[in-house]
Amino acid sequence: MSPIPMNEPGTISAEDLKFYTLSNNAGISVTLLNLGAGVFDLLVPDKDGNLVNVVVGPKNREDYLLPEYLQENRCFGSSVGRYAGRISNGKFRINNESFQLSVKDGVHMHGGSRGLQHKLWELESQDKDRNAICFSCLSEAGEEGYPGNLKVQVTYTLTKENALEIEYKAVTDSSTPVNITNHTFFNLNGGGSVSDHELIINALHILEVDDRQLPTGEIVNLRGRPKDFSFNMRIEEQEIDDTFKLEKSGDFAATLFACNTGIRMQVKTNQPAVVIYIPEALPNKWKYKNEVLKFPTICIETQNFPDAPNHKHFPSAILEPGEDYVNFSSYKFSVENEKE
């Protein structure tokens, strides 16, 4: 992998932003952006054969360079890290050594202002036979306070079976926390609200959090609670920002369905959790691709537990030299045609 240097905030211009597209014979196409190695557009045929952009995000690529976008750190479609989610007070210990990360309001969030989502990634390869594109970047030792040089790759593959596969790999030269995820905002209607979407999550437990959305360390049973999506249920108008502990049984992590379009998305992953993020609203600081209403979108972030370095009973998030970090996730699309 050919690492590229860290991008200082504010030094990237619109001319640096590049788009790459994958498409298959079923009519599905995904457009990728080198900034944050992210998903910019994802077009999927609906039950009537019309193409629906199921990704919510800024309409113009230049919006990703605005100071407001950096400040919001919303990570539309981006590859997020080094550590997706929150780390309490930005502190952790490795081998009896303490480390202090950058913080905002007492929390280190999504790798900070120089996280992977704010970097220009280098195009490593395009494999036409596999219908795949690979990007890479380097997170340098000391960046945001993290130890070790972290070399990261992401490979996007659009399969004949209509699955968008996303695989993150990383190696380090010093022990360091790693938790990378894709932060695509979905709306299977192509706009409006996701309150009518049906959701299933293969989880019976959720992480308890405090008033700063930090895990307390407790893992709570979901039975009888409003956020129990272990069976098919409409999302309705509820704001969610929670970590669901995935069950080891079953072959899926989550399933999302929109009856208006008939589009279904099934998510699989090798990760121990999914973070479900459903905001009540999105910032009005830029224009969006489609109409954005109340509860406009849902993120299904496949990842490790937030704040895992500070909870010994959580799955370990420490990557050691000589080890390979791998996060593999699949987002498979299908259509239910009510006319059939």
Burial class of 121 by CB neighbour count within 10 A (0 to 12, 13 to 18, 19+)? buried
Q: Which residue has the higher pLDDT, 123 or 66?
A: 123
pLDDT interval class at 193 (50, 70, 90): very high
What share of the chain in percent tops pLDDT 70? 96
Least confident of 66-80, 195-209, 262-276: 66-80
Q: Which residues are catalytic?
A: 183, 301
The answer on pLDDT for 190 being more than 80 is: yes
The answer on pLDDT for 298 being more than 70 is: yes
User: Residue 15 corresponds to which tokens in the numbers above?
Assistant: 């001319």
Each domain of the chain, given as residue ranges in start order, spans: 14-191+282-335
The answer on pLDDT for 121 being more than 60 is: yes
Task: For residue 50, give every residue at least 6 positions away whose Cβ sits within 8 Å of its Cβ, in sequence order, or none.
Answer: none
CA-based max dimension of the chain: 63
3-state secondary structure of 233: strand
pLDDT tens column, 59-79: 998 999 998 888 888 999 999
Output the pLDDT for position 114: 84
Least confident of 10-14, 92-96, 259-263: 10-14
Output the pLDDT for position 340: 40
User: Residue 229 corresponds to which tokens in the numbers above?
Assistant: 């999506």
Average pLDDT of the residues in 131-142? 97
CA distance 271 to 273: 6
pLDDT interval class at 45 (50, 70, 90): very high
pLDDT interval class at 3 (50, 70, 90): very low
Could you tell me the fold of the domain covering 14-191+282-335?
A: Beta-galactosidase; Chain A, domain 5 (2.70.98)
